[in-house]
Structure 1
């Protein structure tokens, strides 16, 4: 992708988010764009940063760490880990990321808390909810969510910010909104239960359902191919 093309796609993504917020009657700054840069080269991330993007989401740990080293000169860049995380890889996320969007079990939470360096602020975390009850998808169930939240709220090196979900694909705006409405309600219930936690985040919505997610209160929307173009088909480890 050329610099001109990236300028155009990033601008289009920001316009789409702004229009969705306006249609939902929300403030212009109520949701932010998380640029999903997995499989894309550091040079492309650097150009998006030059164009004003600051938050980048990565799924593949080794690839992300290499980019972070290459782009260490960018003072305001913020790295989000958004993919499934194995417990044996938790230390690198604890040490090198500002956000984790996919926390879904107590063991992982406790490891991250122990491994987060004392000189860094607490790791911002979202609990991933399996909102559509899919057997092939990661995430805690809505029934088990309060118990996991109670554990995370008590861990001093983690800061529970909210919830994340990737619903099963569906057609039609109202059908898309339904699982996001349930996630929003779950967050509201956690706020009542844990008033001490800064529960201000709903990480939800991608290219196919951004408008539905924003209508239900998304604060982070995750866009990848809409900004950076198509990804290679070969899976990464």
Structure 2
């Protein structure tokens, strides 16, 4: 059985190969290690192997891990799961990024509740181009208005788009979704100064996501193993 350090090395090799095959610059894709349900000890092992970006889906679990790993003060913590309005204060106080902004109410509360002593909170707007009822996210039609509103909040830094394509999609459907995501991202990348991140791609599809312009892949299983129940 491979260690976490070995699986990280393998994942980075996959990213580098996919980046080269897409004729994109080396280091143009960042790896977010998704540590949901995994113990702090696993995160520390990944940290010791050089990983610095970690993503959490569950707010309380994420906050507990952030507090337990305060000595690792150069970790960049990303919230990638859904956020209820009564949880925005704790998210605004603890995380560096929120990739799952899907409505104005959440963005406004994160802006209002971001502590003055912290840098602006990096945020991505979550898209749901496949219109899946089980997933959060705005439609392409709703995106322009939300981008306009979020970009006005001084305590937020709008960094880009995040999406979770349909898992059961055919290869053709998957590529259509990814191409549409890349198109939407490109429309704002040249207009907004900090709009530099398309977050899409996971353990099973990071190569095709990188081929379609992803700047950040969110990988859990390939690094930490199957999710704990």
Same fold by TM-score greater than 0.5: yes
| Count of residues in correspondence between the two structures | 229
Say if 2:128 and 2:137, in contact at 8 Å, map to a contact too.
yes
Q: 1:20 to 1:39 in 2, by over 3 A?
A: same
SS at match of 2:226: coil
1:231 aligns with 2:227: yes
Aligned-pair distance for 1:153? 0.4
Counterpart position of 1:129:
127
Aligned-pair distance for 1:175? 3.8
Select 2:39's aligned residue among 30, 38, 41.
41
Say if 1:132 and 1:168, in contact at 8 Å, map to a contact too.
yes
Displacement over 3 Å in runs of 4+: 170-175
Counterpart position of 1:77:
75
Q: Which segments of 5 or more consecutive residues in structure 1 lack a partner in the other structure?
A: none
Say if 1:36 and 1:222, in contact at 8 Å, map to a contact too.
yes
Deviates more, 1:218-227 or 1:180-189: 180-189
Counterpart position of 1:95:
93
Select 2:112's aligned residue among 111, 114, 121.
114
Aligned-pair distance for 1:181? 1.0
Q: What is the distance in 2 between the residues matched to 1:191 and 1:9? A: 32
Q: What is the distance in 2 between the residues matched to 1:61 and 1:84? A: 9
Select 1:181's aligned residue among 172, 179, 182.
179
Aligned-pair distance for 1:135? 2.0
Aligned-pair distance for 1:91? 0.7
Aligned-residue Cα RMSD (Å) equals 1.4
Aligned-pair distance for 1:75? 2.2
Say if 1:9 and 1:226, in contact at 8 Å, map to a contact too.
yes
Counterpart position of 2:196:
200
Render the CA deviation track for 1:178-207: whole Å, top value 9, x for unaligned. Answer: 211101111122235xx2441100000011
Q: What is the distance in 1 between the residues matched to 2:189 and 2:32? A: 24
Aligned-pair distance for 1:177? 2.2
SS at match of 1:124: strand
Q: What is the distance in 2 between the residues matched to 1:175 and 1:24? A: 20
Aligned-pair distance for 1:76? 1.0
Q: What is the distance in 1 between the residues matched to 2:71 and 2:226? A: 27
Say if 2:4 and 2:224, in contact at 8 Å, map to a contact too.
yes
Render the CA deviation track for 1:156-182: whole Å, top value 9, x for unaligned. Answer: 000100000001124665542221110
Counterpart position of 1:163:
161
Q: What is the distance in 2 between the residues matched to 1:170 and 1:211? A: 17
Render the CA deviation track for 1:211-236: whole Å, top value 9, x for unaligned. Answer: 11100111110000100011123xxx
Select 1:213's aligned residue among 202, 209, 213.
209
Say if 1:153 and 1:197, in contact at 8 Å, map to a contact too.
no
Q: What is the distance in 2 between the residues matched to 1:197 and 1:22? A: 26
The TM-score with structure 2 as length reference comes to 0.96
